[in-house]
Structure 1
């Protein structure tokens, strides 16, 4: 059964404020800035909006740890409440990444996920911090990699430097989220499609600094991207899908395409040896199709090859 999810990703160029403004005035300016950013994608009626790392901290404020801490303390939950109201009004999820001070006074670089009612349904704290975050900003590493349940599927998160660390990626390989949200000031290059493919997950990058923000498929294809003209992108993905290897599946794939035609989509990125099959009908699910045609998933094929090697 198709499971369509409309995703909006918003990037950012460096937002600068007049440093002669009071901190309260700076918060007011950033609120107007963020309202304008979200107004670009809200007419599309997305199911989820993903924002870049430190989305509500002006670039020139962030250059100073002392100013950043002061700003965040004055800001408090004002922007959280703003996003909560927008999520409730428009019936969408919002992934809101920023620097937050916890009840124990520690600082965390985290993503808070708000649901369609504006309630916080989960939070991910960056597991792998840069040395600058630790030494200059006093940020504390997160220790958990939660999977957050949404009404359309299961979400995992990563922030910036996290993308360099296999330990976190392998946790997600094991937990198999439907969607990975990546908020960052660093693009990650080849790591984005690598994470998407290795985790068999759709991947959403919301990247600051004027770099491309994009939605990738589980076989690493870019499905939609921001451009040099527009720092946002919206696309619809189908989470009722599976990654399968072509070995031993070619005839089976021809059979399912012959029977289901446009009700099944087969996306081949080329050179990979694996394809993404998606169920585009409500008559059945991707699992039904896999069982009907005895199609072997990529992970099952790799496990079978590993077992033969062990023997």
Structure 2
């Protein structure tokens, strides 16, 4: 068992007047997030995920009344580092990991839409993740430069994979991310994405924590696509304990092994069947029992290993024509592997 407590905290963007100064915008944004994050500190989360543009002020919640691009650019270049410092200090104050998402200026002077994971000491962990697939208005109007790498950040609590909003539409991004075997996908967004959240969680065999602007709900999904937590129309946050000592395994050829696993370890392991997809989520419920050890003892392989073996068998299998002899069914076949 390797449990961590995760929180997603969202809220409507901060509205400011068109004539607001950079200092006024900074004060409004930091005060808003100080109050919003106060909702989860009592739960002592190990990880907090914030939505896309967590610190970007708006002239109105109506997207047709945006602040001028030049004003946002100036605000980011003037107060961007101080804003990141504000969230870094909160991570250190509460000894947690905090995924901040918003505009930043990189070392080359380019504007990026990024997620930075701050550690319990307030320092950035790993490289910032730059949104790989900004929308066309972001690139053409706001001059946001796209990222090129899907980033996984190694931390003491697990392998964290930030993604941002429009990224969710691109299976190529998912494939690159899934190959790195993250433990938790951190989805900071202004749009929900619907069933694509479950698809990413299942395909990456990863927990999925979404922090999304209202009126959309922020939600969490298990590696088999079950919704396990959600914000509501009243509360723009949730906190959930998740178990990172897990494996996704296919049910085929594992019935006896699953029974053996339960008979050996009883309540020390949990086998959850979400139904309809042919896989189960197995977790160790005992901090002294590494799941990998238990699965090896029972002869259980994870779903990707099983699928790989199935592909190998397919490629090595020759189906011979049925022998149309007396008493031999036309459907009979000789199978050689």
Match of 1:269 in 2: 274
Q: In 2, distance between residues paired with 1:63 and 1:271?
A: 47
Q: In 2, distance between residues paired with 1:289 and 1:270?
A: 23
Instruction: Say if 2:101 is the partner of 1:108.
Output: no
Q: In 2, distance between residues paired with 1:128 and 1:22?
A: 31
1:3-152 pair list within 5 angstroms: 3-60=2-59, 62-122=66-126, 123-152=128-157
Runs of 4+ in 1 over 4 A off after TM superposition: none
Higher relative contact order (CA 8 A, sep 6+): 1
Q: In 2, distance between residues paired with 1:156 and 1:14?
A: 24
CA RMSD of superposed structures (Å): 1.3
Structure 2: runs of 5+ lacking an equivalent: 61-65, 317-337
TM-score normalised by length of structure 1: 0.96
Match of 2:201 in 1: 196
Moved more, 12-21 or 92-101: 12-21
Q: Is the 8 A contact 1:244 1:296 kept in 2?
A: yes
How many corresponding residue pairs?
310
Provide, for residues 149-192 of structure 1, a one-character-per-residue CA deviation record: whole Å limited to 9, x for no partner.
10011111111111111111111221111111110111111110
SS in structure 1 opposite 2:45? coil
Match of 1:293 in 2: 298
SS in structure 2 opposite 1:212? coil
Q: Is the 8 A contact 1:218 1:243 kept in 2?
A: yes
TM-score normalised by length of structure 2: 0.89
Q: In 1, distance between residues paired with 2:176 and 2:92?
A: 32
Instruction: Say if 2:254 is the partner of 1:253.
Output: no
